[in-house]
Amino acid sequence: MTPHLLVKMRFLLVDDDEADQYMLRRFLEPYASSFDTVKRLDSALELCRINPEKYTVAILDLSLEDSRWNETLQSIRNMRRLQPKMHIVVC
């Protein structure tokens, strides 16, 4: 049975590894109403800009090839500014 509070989550997955994307989608599928998956932080920020208030949760890969730690932190700040209600998980 799917927990009631998790039924309508809208996920933004940011991971450059397709195997990890697949694993996360399979794991989260029972709790999601939608997924958007991107491989780069700049793509994630663009989705947050053009889809205000769309996402419930963003899951970011800490070891993205196109970013450094300080860039990831700045991206998290920008995502929070664009979608203040969104939960952000960095793994």
Query: Does 7 or 17 have the greater pLDDT score?
Result: 17
pLDDT, tens digit (0-9, with 9 covering 90-100), for 42-62: 999 999 999 888 899 999 988
pLDDT at 88 over 90: yes
Please tell me which residue, 52 or 41, carries the higher pLDDT value: 41
pLDDT beyond 80 at 41 = yes
Neighbours of 13 (CB within 10 A): 21
Residue 15 CA to its chain's centroid (Å): 9
CA 65 to chain centre: 16
Tell me, what amino acid is at 7?
Answer: V
Question: What DSSP designation does 5 have?
Answer: G
pLDDT at 69 over 80: no
Tell me the mean pLDDT in the region 37-43: 93
